[in-house]
Amino acid sequence: MNQLRLFGTDGIRGVANEPPLTPDLAYRVGRELVVTLAAQHESEHVRVVIGRDTRRSGPLLEAAMVAGLLSAGADCFSVGVLPTPGIALLTRGLDAHGGIVLSASHNPFEDNGIKLFSSNSTKFPDVWEDQIEARVKAPDAAPRARGAAIGRLVTYERAEKYYVDFLCRCFPLDLAGITIALDCAHGATYRVAPSVFRRLGARVLVIAAQPDGTNINAGCGALHPDGLRKRLVAASADVGFAFDGDGDRLISVDHLGEIRDGDYALAIAARHMAQQGRLQTNTVVTTVMANLGLDECLRAAGIKMVKTQVGDRYVHEEMQRMGANLGGEQSGHLLFPDYSPTGDGILSALALLAVMRESGEALASLATCMRKFPQVLVNVPVARKPPIESLTGVMDRVRAFESEMNGTGRILLRYSGTESLARVMIEGSDEARIRAMADELASAIRTQLGQ
């Protein structure tokens, strides 16, 4: 087995059917997951839920993983294609010990991943991942069930209805008279998202809802919302929502065609919840990628903000520690734990619609609460990931640029937790100047670490 670390910030990611993300690995992870869950829950009989997005490689990895689970004696409930938050929800709803999502979220279709959820629908604890990783890299000592002890495979055909019912119960809105445009990224939301909004009475226009296994996230969805913007403007729709491939992110478009990311959603939801006395600890938890405009907006409303490193699991952990009930990322991964313990793009869209309905304001009007600072993000492919601080020439330029901005902007350098990329993010008042700064830093990183 490959001795490089398998688990990143969001499970195991890689190119499907290439090391490390091979059917062999999926089989072993399945077997060792059973051992870990049995030990943690002190249970002799493990139940696991498994689902996937629309990638071509999903059935391949699912078949291998299910074989591993069954061979170690676990019962496996297969829910098919369903958004990540729906699979997490069903893990709890079916009283399973753990859940598995086969998805690479917003990544290209060639990639895939293995995400694990605990019995309470939250991301798998790091220490449990470490145990699985250690066992996968050692000789296979997981039990081999025999006869009637071999696990059962159950196709759970009510999964989609269960999830749609749940979302409509969370926000039983009357959306009659509203036209909503949806971009489903040819991904896991392609059936359930239209179903939810239509059930609530909206007129729904849908794009990117014909998955063929290779078009997931391809020029559409939360990472590419311009297609949704054009469809919305052409149809004079009231609001638009774009999801990513596995359905845990949301990017919105207002009726004027302006794209509104997770920072806008957090600002709008926080102010509304605070006004109603529902914002616990009067705090929003976000990440270091949040725009300075969000700081400014929340400060003006008397709301505190706490920042974590990038990754929804870190936001969630800090929210739990503080008792906060609103958090998320600029990327559109939002957390509303009063309703669901994991990020959910459809639920986030419903939360925004609830604010619109209760306030009587359009999304464009609500979004005026925040003035966004120009922000430039450059991704640099890298062959290795030494500590950023060790890149002497790069850090010298960072210090020089920070001195030039004199407190009116900020620079953030970090590595992606799921891809071989270094990310250069700069915010400031002069967009042309921060673009030049970002390009110069990206060039310096490319020179030292380029593939």
Residues with catalytic roles: 105
| Single-letter code of the amino acid located at 17 | N
Quote the tokens at residue 40. Answer: 């943690």
SS3 assignment for the chain: CCCCCCEEECEEEEECCECCECHHHHHHHHHHHHHHHHHHHCCCCCEEEEEECCCCCHHHHHHHHHHHHHHCCCEEEEEEECCHHHHHHHHHHCCCCEEEEECCCCCCCCEEEEEEEECCCCECCHHHHHHHHHHHCCCCCCCCCCHHHCCCEEECCCHHHHHHHHHHHHCCCCCCCCEEEEECCCCCCCCHHHHHHHHCCCEEEEECCCCCCCCCCCCCCCCCCHHHHHHHHHHCCCEEEEECCCCCCEEEEECCCCEECHHHHHHHHHHHHHHCCCCHHHEEEEECCCCHHHHHHHHHCCCEEEEECCCHHHHHHHHHHHCCCCEECCCCCEECCCCCCCCCHHHHHHHHHHHHHHHCCCHHHHHHHCCCCCEEEEEEEECCCCCHHHCHHHHHHHHHHHHHHCCCCEEEEEECCCCCEEEEEEECCCHHHHHHHHHHHHHHHHHHHEC
